[in-house]
Amino acid sequence: MTPSTRFLNLLVFTAGLVTLGVELAGARLLDPWFGNSLIVWANLIGLILLYLAAGAWLGGRLADRSPHAETLFRLTAWGAGAVGLIPVVSRPLLALAAAGFAAYDVALLLGSFLGVLALFAVPVTLLGCVTPFAVRLSLADVQHSGQTAGRLSALATLGSISGTFGAVLVLIPNLGTRRTFLALSLLLLGLAIAGLWQARHRPPWAYVSLWLLILALALQNPGAIKPQANLLYETESAYNYIQVLQGRGEVLLKLNEGQGIHSVFRPAAQGLADGIWDYFLLAPFFSPAPRPPEAVQRMALIGLAGGTISSLYTQVYGPLPIDGVELDPAVIAVGRRWFGMNQPNLHAVAQDGRYFLEHSAARYDVIAVDAYRPPYIPFHLTTVEFFTTVRSHLTPRGVVAINVARAAGDDRLVSALTNTLLAVFPSVLVIDEPDNGALLGNSLVIASQQPATLTDWESNTARLTHPLLIEMVRRAQGRVRLAHASAVSPWRDDLAPVEQMVHGLILRVLLAQP
């Protein structure tokens, strides 16, 4: 029995929806463990396309050998069921990934990465069979074959568009990654069961049992996405996988890869955070002398996270107006709930940092840029065009300070950012935070609106009286240097190889392990 045209149209549309939903959910599944850099996306998209190509070839062959609706519905049911198994089977592989990250073991890390990607082979290949098989069943005569193929191809594409926006805007933020896989599986499997029931004239109990099993998995409490000791809270947003962890007398914020700490909050005491955030306090003094602390009247912070830097500035410089820009509104909510980010002088804005500056008329004495996911920096925040916008929003003696990652013996990223800043600003100075033997470290790169020297820095800091500033000057002693231009071309919007350079840093770290 040939299914109705409407039912085939619905099946093709839904298969397209599920395919792109699986791809987007797959990216989020990988994100907490491997990040979401271009290389991760390239691997994921490339293999998904390979699996779809294999599915299109396989679906066409199977349709010619067995041009029956029941065969199509079985293939669809198997593919949908395999989608529901992805979050279950991926757990042990992701546990291996965690061990690889912790030990900087490149073989373990790469193996788990490839293993997770291999999980998509069966479901996506089977989903790729649906459209060519449906075309074969829909062909009533050769004269209309082009129209039939075009209609079904268009429906598959429309389904893919729905799956893309549905996964990102609806399913993942509200259900989480694992339940998104399960919901997509239930949707398509239910449709395949309806088709089999109609074709057989009796319930396909084996597939009904599979649907009920996946439903039970969806209703079950999945537990922590990425189990970790002292986990206080975790959630997924449209932008991030967010963790809040309890440390010794402090609360920590981790995003995505989870290897870098984005914010620290110590409820019992005020003071320094003992990280790169503290060095931002010194940024105003990389301006021509004299530059007293009271000259700092307004600040913009791109990459607010849980508000560690804004809290430090409020402690030291008083309740100056701070515009804190954070892309993810869920991170802002976490900051307010868990990190005491409720200072009345802080104006938190959920927006992209560059977009915010380009549409703002405000000027600032300090613009701090800490909008990166260790060790990645968004490329559009590293270019001449971006820094030109930044300079236009600085007061006549304002500064911009950027947190930049480096590896032991490899500060190419710091040098590249320095050289790009020197294409816009008259002078750039660098503070290298002590790495204390760690393989990855941080540097604070500061550019000033007016030419500044090490002598200006020494003169400005010699007059400081606030105990936290005095302590930070002590910690920075001997670690401040004046940067000089190199032969490397400044980065621009058209070419900013940030990720390529960061991958070099990571590879250096991994290969340095015994």
**Please, what are the domains in the chain?**
5-219 (1.20.1250), 251-511 (3.40.50.150)
| Predicted local distance difference test score (pLDDT) of residue 502 | 67
Q: Which helix (H) or strand (E) holds 443?
A: strand 440-448
| Predicted local distance difference test score (pLDDT) of residue 379 | 83
The pair phi, psi for residue 445, each rounded to 5°, is -105, 120
Which residue in this structure is represented by tokens 């920075």? 476
| Predicted local distance difference test score (pLDDT) of residue 514 | 45
Other beta carbons less than 10 A from residue 299's beta carbon: 26
* pLDDT per position as a tens digit, 255-305: 875 556 889 998 877 789 999 999 999 999 999 999 999 999 999 999 999
Determine if the peptide bond prior to 290 is cis (ω within 30°). yes
Predicted model pTM: 0.77
| Predicted local distance difference test score (pLDDT) of residue 221 | 74
| Predicted local distance difference test score (pLDDT) of residue 414 | 86
User: 335, 290, 341, 332: which is closest to 312 by C-alpha?
Assistant: 341
Give every residue of the chain whose pLDDT is below 70, as ranges: 1-2, 32-39, 94-113, 140-144, 222-227, 257-260, 373-376, 408-410, 436-439, 499-514
* Sheet with strand 261-265: strands edge to edge: 231-236, 241-246, 251-255, 261-265
